[in-house]
Amino acid sequence: MSDNPFIVEKFEFLGPEFLKEISKHAVVNHIKAKTEIIREGQKNKYIPFVLKGSIKVFTLNDDRELIYYCMREYDSCMMTFSSIFSDYISRIYSVAEEDSELLLIPVSVMHDWLIQFPAINKLFFQEYDKRFSEVMNMVNEAVFHKLDKRILSYIKQQISLTGNHPIKLTHREIATNLGTSREVVSRVMKKIENEGEISQSREGIRIPKDTNVSPV
């Protein structure tokens, strides 16, 4: 496993001894789309790194989702990592958005590695900085952007993430991910469709060619 491109890119700076350790303890798991990986209150057994696919990390409030961030290729879950400093109990939900492949490192092993290989902290500080920026962007959008802009931004993000265009997203799915109601989303979607920002059909939602779809 030590010659895996992800492991080489992510952990080679820690030296050959660490690569031996990760080959010894890490496992690869294949996750089907829409599969729940962990839920709030469960005990974290592994720290996941995404090799392929994407994982949604969120909390629930009155059955409405608040997305913290999406893990994509070579990303790790900082909310899971932070649990090793307390009781290993998850404070988030995570679900595979598409068929995904995860590298799983036992939490107890990672705890030992922090002492044995202190340089690994650099990697996680970088991940924390990335996730903190994403959460701040999410807060800014929720506070300062109108719902039509948030919906349009979400659609563009999903197109960039999946590579699917048109993309199939239900109004209920958009509502759940943005913390609002399906009825409100349907009304706003009709409005931005009339304004030429999107088009909707049986094939899915399409962004006009002259509208920029920014990568995520």
Q: What is the CA radius of gyration of the chain?
A: 19
Residue 213 lies in a domain: no
Residue 93 lies in a domain: yes
Domain limits at 129?
5-134
Q: Quick one: pLDDT at residue 162?
A: 82
Could you report the per-residue pLDDT of 149-185, keeping only the tens digit for each?
A: 889 988 998 898 788 899 999 998 888 878 788 888 9
Residue 41 lies in a domain: yes
pTM > 0.85: no
Residues 150 and 191 in one domain: yes
Residue 181 lies in a domain: yes
Q: Which of 104, 134, 164 is the last residue of a domain?
A: 134
- Are 171 and 185 a contacting pair, CB within 8 Å? yes
Count up the domains in the chain and report the number.
Answer: 2
Residue 139 lies in a domain: no
Residues 115 and 75 in one domain: yes
With vertex at residue 176, the alpha carbon angle to CA 170 and CA 182, rounded to the nearest 5 degrees, is 60
Q: Cα–Cα distance between 122 and 1 in angstroms, integer?
A: 22
pLDDT one digit per residue (tens) for the chain, 216 residues: 656 778 888 888 888 899 889 989 999 999 999 999 999 999 999 999 999 999 989 888 777 777 888 888 888 888 888 887 777 889 899 999 889 999 999 988 988 998 899 888 888 788 778 777 777 776 666 655 688 888 998 899 889 878 889 999 999 888 887 878 888 899 999 999 999 999 999 999 999 875 555 544
Cβ-proximal residues to 207 (8 Å cutoff; 6+ apart), any chain: 155, 156, 159, 165, 197, 198, 213
Residues 195 and 125 in one domain: no
Residues 130 and 148 in one domain: no
Q: Which of 134, 154, 170 is the last residue of a domain?
A: 134
